[in-house]
Amino acid sequence: MSGIFDYIPIITVILFGTGLVGAMVYERARTKQSKEPEATT
C-alpha cells in the first residue's frame, strides 16, 4: 500500500502542468474570442 505514496509527487507535477496548460489555452481562447475574428488557415 505504501507504493501509492511514491507516485504522489509525480501525480502532483502532472496535475499542476495540466492545469497550467489548460489555463493558458483558456486565456488564449478567451482573448482571441474578445478580439475581432481573424481568418485562420
**Residue 40: predicted pLDDT:** 60
CA–CA distance, 2 with 15 (Å, rounded to integer) = 21
Of the two residues 14 and 31, the one the predictor is more confident about is 14
Of the two residues 35 and 13, the one the predictor is more confident about is 13
Total Cβ atoms within 10 A of residue 10: 9
CA–CA distance, 12 with 3 (Å, rounded to integer) = 15
Confidence of residue 10 (pLDDT cuts 50, 70, 90): very high
Convert the pLDDT of each residue in 25-40 to its tens digit.
999 988 877 765 666 6
